[in-house]
A and B are shown apart, each in its own frame.
Chain A
Amino acid sequence: MATEDARYRQSSQYRLWSFTPAHLASLRETTNSLAQTQISNRLRSSDTPVDPLPNFLTPAEEYQILNHFTLELLRAAPYCHLPTDIQATAATFLRRFYVTNSVMTYPPQELIKTCLFFGCKAEGSFIRVQKIADIFPNTTGEMILAAEYVLCQGIRFAFDVRHPFRALEGSIMELRRLGDFDDDRINRAHKRTRDILKFSPLVTDVYFHYTPSQIMYAAMAIADEELVQCMLREAFTGQGEVAREKIWGVIEGCKAMLEKEPPEKMNTYWTDAESTKAIKVIRRKLTKCRDPDRVDLVALQKSRREQATHKPKAKAGLQADEKVFGNSNNEERESKRRKVASNGEDIFGPPL
């Protein structure tokens, strides 16, 4: 077996973020229903219980909203002067995040900023958070940072995303080497494929189902199918028709997904009355059914931090004791107490 395949299977993209379509769908359903249960509980137990409960978004509606905000992210990215691969990484982070988190739980309009910021970081470009904050209205650096941790956990700390852009450059070199096609044709296919790769894979689920090379070939097949067929013939010489047909089948599947979201949509999307209206309806629904505790990420982050610093077992005891014994200038007593406190932890186990 080709060891390049084996190497790809070692990547976090394959290990953690590749699924069959059925599995991805079931994950999204689970995420959606969990969010519904939790938000219902929160609404019912709030000071002024909400009754009746609002209508929740369906998984299909969540997907529509996610696509909408992926497009928003791609629209914002050029204003940050981000190179293609960082844009793509940011978009991938957003889509991965919302596999295990519902848009009803964490607001996507906030997450896209954090994805852009952390996408830069993950690609080794440590830009100031303020630079991203500046391009959005009513946004502070604090707001962007508030969701960073949630995002990292949501993407399962897989910071390395494999994109098909370099694969395309490699294929173009390969095509030139073969010498069967004239330069103009190759250049045209190069440009078209690149345009597709910058958009279509990021607003569909192909990253979850296909490898970067499959995505690249599929995009190129949209641009000029004959070029791809020629490369496949070349690659599979001596390996029989069956292997080649199988790969071609996979590429065709990917191609069909990509064709649903052509790059032209990037220009027409915001003026298309029908899609704008549809999104408006879902967004209105979303404002009514979202998690009331997690809309304000800054406040959420603060309360989580506070919880963490006030909870620790030993410390809590110390604070109480301090009130009784006065300020703890007595070093000896202090260290003894610490000892007892930390020993106690082992005997009874951590608090429930």
Chain B
Amino acid sequence: MAVSPLIVHPTDALPNPRSVSSPLKNANSAQTSSNGTPLVAPTAPSGAQPASLDVAEQLNEEEKRKYVKGKKLGEGTYANVYLGFLRDDPSKPVAIKKIKIQKEYTEGMAPDAVREIRHLQELSHPNIITLHSIFSSKDQNLNLVLEYLPLGDLEMLIRDEKGVKYGAADIKAWMGMLTRAVWFCHENFVLHRDIKPNNLLIAADGEVKLADFGLARSFSDPYKPMTSNVITRWYRPPELLFGAKHYSGAVDIWSVGLVFAELVIRMPFLAGNTEMHQISLICQGIGTPTEENWPGVTKLPEYTAEKEVHPVRGRDYFLSMFGTVGTHGVELLMKTLILDPKKRVTAREMLNHKWWQEDPKPTRKQDLPKKSGGQEKVGADLKRRPGMVEDEGKGSKVARKLDFGGGN
């Protein structure tokens, strides 16, 4: 169940710390020095652990000692990102994301950090960014040791129309990786709730990894309402725009569909300036949600639609716009963009779609188009406050408030 036949686990990555047993199992063993062995002599003899450390503190020091922090890749208000490497094997790079104490949030550890840590601790999959370790520094800042993904993100590739050429086979490979990532999240009862091209980071070997779990949550029990104020507007499904408090994995699938569309046309498909504008773009681009195509939609708390009713767009319309991925590709895209979330395709159904099997075969990951200068982008991507869009051109239009309130 949990293991897709499509998954190939990476072999050249860091040894997955999750395959080892609990680090507590070494709690009695001799401790090595934590007092900063100089970088020039990583093999320097280690002294004794200062006696004043609790077992918990010792374990923390042990984790901290496994990595060496290098140059700063990015600096933001939420976090700083550093390049780092494994002390025992300097050829194994990592990204260390140091989350800053949020002065304006007076309720202790920030919700996005709690969410990100909670879910990344549990999800281990080749298409989801790996959390190698967490440790705290003396100043009580959190350090997340993440997989190093030096080739930027999918947004960068989509936008660079002059420098990066890609075709149907590449789109199929990228969509395969994204769909497997989302399938794995849903299989583990986690909603990501912020899928978009710049949250899809690219590893050195071309593998795409879903990152930024700052808005993620577990599937809710039926009686527990969730916040509808999630997912960056351009990728937000109609049920959330209408204020639905009980929703499912279908919200992520809509985002996946819009990433798919964006990969094909190389620009955001439905780029609304406001929530109202977003709804109107959906009505025009896909069709007006009505009781006929979506029973119950008018009962949603914030249901609105323009007077003029657009019929749901048919195959020919999508073929004319997205035809480069073939008829089966277009059919799959259309299923991800079904207005009624109950009829929308699931991640599992997506993986069983015939588009993946037909020609052209997806590009092998090592042959996928790449773009240089990804390192700066890694810093920029990871330092962002999870779930926030920063002011980078489109930022002012997409910026949105985050709802940390009770009802999520």
Residues of A with Cβ closer than 8 Å to B? 3-4, 6-7, 10-12, 15-19, 23, 26-27, 30-31, 34-35, 37-38, 41, 99-102, 105, 117-118, 121-122, 124-129, 145, 148-150, 152-154, 156-160, 304-305, 307-309, 311-312, 346, 348-352
9 closest pairs, A vs B, by CB? A308-B139, A349-B38, A350-B36, A159-B118, A100-B55, A100-B56, A7-B2, A157-B134, A148-B108
Partner of A157, one of B40, B57, B121, B408: B121
Q: Could you say which of B21-29, B86-94, B158-166 contacts chain A?
A: B21-29
Residues of B with Cβ closer than 8 Å to A? 1-3, 18, 21-25, 27-28, 35-40, 51-52, 54-57, 59-60, 107-109, 111, 114-115, 117-119, 121-122, 124, 134, 136, 138-140, 142, 188, 217-218, 404-406, 408
**CB contact under 8 A between A349 and B139, given known A16-B23, A148-B108, A153-B60:** no
A38 and B2 form a contact (CB under 8 A): no
**CB contact under 8 A between A4 and B1, given known A27-B27, A349-B38:** yes
Chain A residues with CB under 8 Å of B138's CB are 307-308, 311
**CB contact under 8 A between A15 and B21, given known A159-B121, A160-B122:** yes
Partner of B121, one of A7, A38, A117, A160: A160
**CB contact under 8 A between A309 and B39, given known A10-B124, A19-B24, A30-B55:** no
B109 and A6 form a contact (CB under 8 A): no
Interface centre among B21, B109, B134 (most CB of A within 10 A): B109
**CB contact under 8 A between A346 and B39, given known A3-B2, A3-B3, A38-B52:** yes
Chain B residues with CB under 8 Å of A30's CB are 27-28, 55
Interface centre among A18, A26, A100, A105 (most CB of B within 10 A): A100
B122 and A121 form a contact (CB under 8 A): no
A18 and B406 form a contact (CB under 8 A): no
Chain A residues with CB under 8 Å of B28's CB are 26, 30
Interface centre among A15, A150, A154, A351 (most CB of B within 10 A): A15
Chain B residues with CB under 8 Å of A117's CB are 108
What is the distance, in angstroms, from B236's C-beta to the closest C-beta of chain A?
A: 20
What is the distance, in angstroms, from B224's C-beta to the closest C-beta of chain A?
A: 8
A148 to B111, CA, bound (A): 13
Who on chain A is nearest to B217 by CB? A124
Chain A residues with CB under 8 Å of B22's CB are 15-19
A6 and B107 form a contact (CB under 8 A): no
Can you list 17 A-B pairs, Cβ within 8 angstroms, ordered by A? A6-B3, A10-B124, A19-B22, A27-B24, A27-B27, A37-B51, A41-B51, A100-B55, A101-B56, A126-B107, A148-B109, A152-B109, A153-B56, A153-B57, A309-B139, A312-B139, A349-B37
A189 to B25, CA, bound (A): 38
Chain A residues with CB under 8 Å of B111's CB are 121, 126
Partner of B55, one of A16, A31, A160, A307: A31
A329 to B188, CA, bound (A): 56
Chain A residues with CB under 8 Å of B107's CB are 126, 128-129, 145
A158 and B121 form a contact (CB under 8 A): yes
**CB contact under 8 A between A124 and B36, given known A19-B22, A159-B118:** no
Interface centre among A18, A105, A156 (most CB of B within 10 A): A156
A30 to B55, CA, bound (A): 8
Chain A residues with CB under 8 Å of B217's CB are 124
B408 and A124 form a contact (CB under 8 A): yes
Chain B residues with CB under 8 Å of A124's CB are 115, 217-218, 408
A217 to B404, CA, bound (A): 37
Interface centre among B24, B57, B124, B139 (most CB of A within 10 A): B24
A160 and B119 form a contact (CB under 8 A): yes
A46 to B124, CA, bound (A): 48
Chain A residues with CB under 8 Å of B3's CB are 3, 6
A126 to B52, CA, bound (A): 34
B1 and A7 form a contact (CB under 8 A): yes
B54 and A159 form a contact (CB under 8 A): no
A126 and B405 form a contact (CB under 8 A): yes
Chain A residues with CB under 8 Å of B109's CB are 118, 121, 148-149, 152
Q: A38-B54, A160-B119, A349-B37 are in contact. List 6 more A-B contacts (CB 8 A).
A: A18-B22, A23-B25, A149-B109, A160-B121, A308-B138, A312-B139
A128 to B405, CA, bound (A): 9
**CB contact under 8 A between A121 and B140, given known A6-B2, A350-B36:** no
Who on chain B is nearest to A16 by CB? B22
Chain A residues with CB under 8 Å of B108's CB are 117-118, 121, 129, 145, 148
Chain B residues with CB under 8 Å of A309's CB are 139
A316 to B59, CA, bound (A): 28
What is the distance, in angstroms, from A91's C-beta to the closest C-beta of chain B?
A: 18
**CB contact under 8 A between A122 and B114, given known A11-B122, A149-B136, A158-B121:** yes
A154 and B56 form a contact (CB under 8 A): yes
